[in-house]
């Protein structure tokens, strides 16, 4: 059976499925405060997205503390417990090899807020309100 590679960098169904399993497990670990760290014990951390490398050997876990405060400290705390978290993922996600994990701040909401603000700006509004010159 051959593996098909998607053109355009689209993730395969397997990559998406594994990413979602890892996202669920990580969200569960964080919501139950199973990581013993003062930074993580005092914050609610969401896991909006996980992205897998095509070979499933690297999981990039996007996190955001509720309210967006102390995101850098949260990522540093997660990095300190990377070995424990990788072990938990390995035990609960049935893969041949446990993927390496890395944490990044999820800036999707921040980016969409910035785009919304741009679209509401006077300059863009003026351009949108111009009559067509056809």
- Is 106 domain-assigned? yes
- Is 109 domain-assigned? yes
**Domain extent at residue 71:** 10-129
Domain count for the chain: 1
Looking at the predicted structure, is the pLDDT value of residue 116 above 60? yes
CATH of the domain at 123: 3.30.300.20
Looking at the predicted structure, is the pLDDT value of residue 110 above 90? no
Nearest in space to 61 (alpha carbons), one of 97, 20, 96:
20
Q: Please state the rounded mean pLDDT for residues 31-50.
A: 92
- Is 94 domain-assigned? yes
More confident position, 2 or 101:
101
């Amino acid at each position: 059976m051959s593996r098909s590679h998607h053109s355009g960098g689209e993730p395969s169904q397997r990559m998406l499925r594994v990413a979602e399993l890892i996202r669920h497990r990580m969200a569960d670990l964080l919501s139950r405060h199973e990581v013993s760290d003062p930074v993580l014990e005092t914050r609610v951390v969401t896991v909006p997205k996980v992205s897998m490398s095509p070979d499933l050997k690297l999981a990039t876990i996007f996190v955001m503390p509720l309210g967006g405060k102390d995101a850098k400290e949260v990522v540093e705390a997660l990095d300190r417990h990377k070995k424990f978290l990788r072990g938990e993922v390995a035990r609960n996600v049935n893969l041949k090899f446990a993927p390496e994990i890395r944490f990044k701040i999820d800036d999707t909401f921040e980016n969409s807020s910035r785009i919304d603000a741009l679209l509401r700006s006077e300059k863009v509004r003026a351009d949108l309100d111009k009559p067509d010159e056809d």
